[in-house]
Amino acid sequence: MRDFKNEIAALIAGLPAIVDAGLDVSEVFALIEIPPEASKGDYAFPCFRLSKALRKAPQQIAAELTATLADAGILDVAEGAADGAAKSGGNCVGRVVAESAYVNFFLRRDVFSEAVVNEVRVKSVDYGKGTIGNGRKVIVEFSSPNIAKPFHIGHIRSTVIGNAIEHIYSFLGYDTVRINHLGDYGTQFGKMIVAYRRWGNRADVERAPIQSLLSYYTKFHEEAALDPSLEDEAREVFAKLENGGEEELALWKWFREESLGEFGRVYKMLGIEFDSYAGESFYSDKMDRVTDELKAKGLLLESEGAQVVDLSQWDMPPALIRKSDGSTLYITRDIAAAIYRKEHYDFEKNIYVVASQQNLHFKQWFKVVELMGYDWASGCVHVPFGLVSLEDGVMSTREGRVVFLEDVLNRAVSQTREIIVEKNVSTDNIDETARQVGIGAVVFNELANNRIKDYVFSWDKVLNFEGETGPYVQYVHARAASVLRKAEADAVRAADPDTAIDGSYLGSDSAYELARLIYKFPAVIMDAGEKYEPSVVTRLIVDIAQTFNRFYHDEYILVDDAAEKIAKLALVYAVKQTVGNGLALLGIEAPERM
């Protein structure tokens, strides 16, 4: 993409006053700002820093710089043009205005819009794609539900945020590895096995695996409140499982397989795949290495029979590595997993998309890995997110108070189908469109706001398709597709980068604003990757969708003049492609008809 900010920086850096002040191009570039209001220009250069070197007031410097640019004849303003539009030519600046201590630059709309549209036409599905990753390995751990427990609405946050982050990093050129670190190990399996033996049967589990296992788990905690000896029995059973007890191991494997089958249906609905399902159990034979290494490096201390790493120097409680009974904890397994991943994948980044409740846990074990002498600890990143609660309180697996994610997705698809039939929406396949839009609505709802915010799950909110929602953005994509279909052969020409377009037809406020938003797309993808924040992509494509609707209502697109029609269709194509690329990064499909 043509770098307009850099062109302006070069223009400014060549002015005598800037040379006298001792600023080079990179310093000028760093000073240039984007005004908060479009009426102030596309870029602004503040003159405060020049005041001391030039011994003049910033306002005077801004006025003199503006006059110098005009005297140099660089702007080539068309005589009599109401908005100062420039004649055709290579320079990107159409107008410069001094305002207080700033020099405000207005780009030539024809040059800018033409460059943006051409870039999208050339790159197509790769528009916005980066090479910064250069094939380096990035691991993204996300979703990670617990075996034999419900895949509920609380899991959607890690699942869709992690999926979007993986897509973004892959789009930026990284070699990504998607890991589903299943919760398939721990004392809860002792409880599950005890509950199954006492109150369960195979037929019920095969008919409805998660619902049945959840009912057993809930029953266990109800009964354990009356008979605490059940907790001891569960610990004994888990110890047998850890030691390879044949019957316990067979039940554990069966619970795992049945659960993965249930989870797989949800992942298929969401279009999500994983490269590895290595969960906690995978690292059960790798933890002795961790404790041995901690001992050898003098980091492991004994405290009341347990083994810990003292982290008081960093204002954290001790990291409990082994309990007094010798059993390991999450932190031990996470350290073992990180070491394995580094040795197996040689990652540059190891990203964990896990709720903010676990902030301390991650800080602790990241510090332990660092103390072990592993410099790659800095590449381990915790991406926290806010929690989901129900309108009548928090979710509780123990109490059986959950909303199944599969039910949410199925209800969204069903309700979307009813809307399509009721409104007689044009589509080639009602069921397929209902699936795309219904699931898109749920995913978009999760990614629309900053990930760190807590929120209360509400059916009405998730299934509300009005306003800044997934269906709204999908509809704009379909509307753009409809315009291009109606144009037939002209649309094909407009999408072809070898077809020249006349940017002067893209100078209206709505057309220019569309071009400005589309131009931001590559930078927004970079920003989303750096911040691990998919919502910045969501925000941009909503803005593009809203601006396209203004353009659609303000402009005649399929006009008689061939040059004007091709230029406007090229912009419509750029909108469709950019919105489609953005939705894909979020893990949302983009219907052609809606």
For the annotated catalytic residues, the residue numbers are 149, 152, 155
Which amino acid makes up residue 212? S
Beta bridge mates, 380? 350
C-alpha 397/C-alpha 515 separation (Å) is 49
SS3 120: helix
SS3 575: helix
C-alpha 552/C-alpha 99 separation (Å) is 34
Q: Would you put residue 383 in left (φ > 0), alpha (ψ -120 to 50) or beta? A: beta
Token pair in block for residue 282: 């995978």
In this structure, are strands 102-107 and 93-99 parallel, antiparallel, or unpaired?
antiparallel
Q: CA–CA distance from 226 to each of 113, 222, 230, 400 (Å)?
A: 72, 7, 9, 18
C-alpha 532/C-alpha 313 separation (Å) is 29
Helices (H) and strands (E) in the chain, counts: 23, 12
C-alpha 13/C-alpha 26 separation (Å) is 9
C-alpha 263/C-alpha 415 separation (Å) is 23
CB 309 within 8 A of CB 319: yes
The stretches of 423-534 forming alpha helices (DSSP H) are 430-447, 459-462, 470-487, 489-495, 509-531
Burial classification of residue 30, based on how many CB atoms lie within 10 Å of its CB (0-12 exposed, 13-18 middle, 19 or more buried): exposed
Over the range 353-391, which residues count as b (16 or more CB within 10 Å of their CB) and which as e? bbbeeeeebbbbbbbbbebbebebbebbbbbbbbbbebe
What is the helix (H) or strand (E) element at residue 94, kind and residue range? strand 93-99
CB 17 within 8 A of CB 54: yes
Over the range 312-336, which residues count as b (16 or more CB within 10 Å of their CB) and which as e? eeeeeeebbbbeeeeebbebbbbbb
What is the helix (H) or strand (E) element at residue 574, kind and residue range? helix 562-585
Report the chain's terminal Cα–Cα distance, integer Å.
32
C-alpha 144/C-alpha 530 separation (Å) is 23
Burial classification of residue 32, based on how many CB atoms lie within 10 Å of its CB (0-12 exposed, 13-18 middle, 19 or more buried): middle
C-alpha 128/C-alpha 15 separation (Å) is 33
C-alpha 190/C-alpha 39 separation (Å) is 66
Phi, psi of 137, rounded to the nearest 5 degrees: -85, 130
